[in-house]
Amino acid sequence: MAEGKNNTNSLQEKMAFIESILFVSKDPVEPEKIMNYLNIFDISEFEQIVSKMDAQYKEDTRGIFLKRTGGGLQLATKPEMHFSLKDFFSIRTSSRLTVPSLETLAIVAYRQPVTLAEISDLRGVNSTGPVKNLLQKKLIKISGRKKVPGLPALYSTTKEFLLYFGLNDLSQLPSLEELTEMLEEAEQPSLFK
């Protein structure tokens, strides 16, 4: 492929260029940015290219797949490869969230923007520690100030939150009803365990 903008003409060249972008980018790449560079003005044309790439990655012999996350596209390792990769690189899972942090994160995700006092009220305990932990992990951010006396900080989720949970946007969060059902099913004892 020749150097410079707009020199990708064939479907294969476009797929190779998109793959190259996704390979070198550590963050998801917005489709609009790729479309603008390739002068693709029709979203259906772009989706056709992405679908063809996706089909190639879905082959059993591939170790990666095309993931839609954080509002963009990213190449990621297939979940079935994680154990082998973890073993190969001797990765230790040390970045797990505590139960208080998960509770706090769920409140922020579903009620955002929300204040520390509102989080603590919903949890029934002081939530300063979990909020600080989530801020340090960049899963939540201060998104403004509530127009009440004291002007308390308002907390919202971040792009890192979407990436951490593999979501493309907040609309992919399960509804509160679905979440309640999942939690109730998890608490039910099974005769077969």
Q: Which CATH architecture has domain 99-187?
A: Orthogonal Bundle (1.10)
Tell me, rounded to whole angstroms, the distance of Cα 146 from its chain centroid: 27
Two domains, one topology: 11-89 and 99-187: yes
In this structure, what token pair is assigned to residue 97? 């969230």
pLDDT band at 2 (very low <50, low <70, confident <90, very high): very low
pLDDT above 60: residue 191: no
pLDDT of 1 reads 43
Q: What is the mean pLDDT of the chain?
A: 85
d(CA 168, CA 137): 19
Predicted confidence (pLDDT) per residue in 97-106, tens digit: 888 999 999 9
In this structure, what token pair is assigned to residue 160? 């890192």
DSSP 29: B
DSSP 97: P
Q: Which fold has domain 11-89?
A: Arc Repressor Mutant, subunit A (1.10.10)
| Contact by Cβ (8 Å): 125, 33 | no
Amino acid, single-letter form, for residue 9: N
pLDDT of 111 reads 93
In this structure, what token pair is assigned to residue 130? 């979990």
Is the pTM above the cut of 0.75? no
In this structure, what token pair is assigned to residue 45? 């044309």
In this structure, what token pair is assigned to residue 164? 């951490």
Task: State phi, psi for 69 to the nearest 5 degrees.
Answer: -150, 150
All structural domains of the chain with their residue ranges = 11-89, 99-187
DSSP, collapsed to helix, strand or coil, labels residue 74 as strand
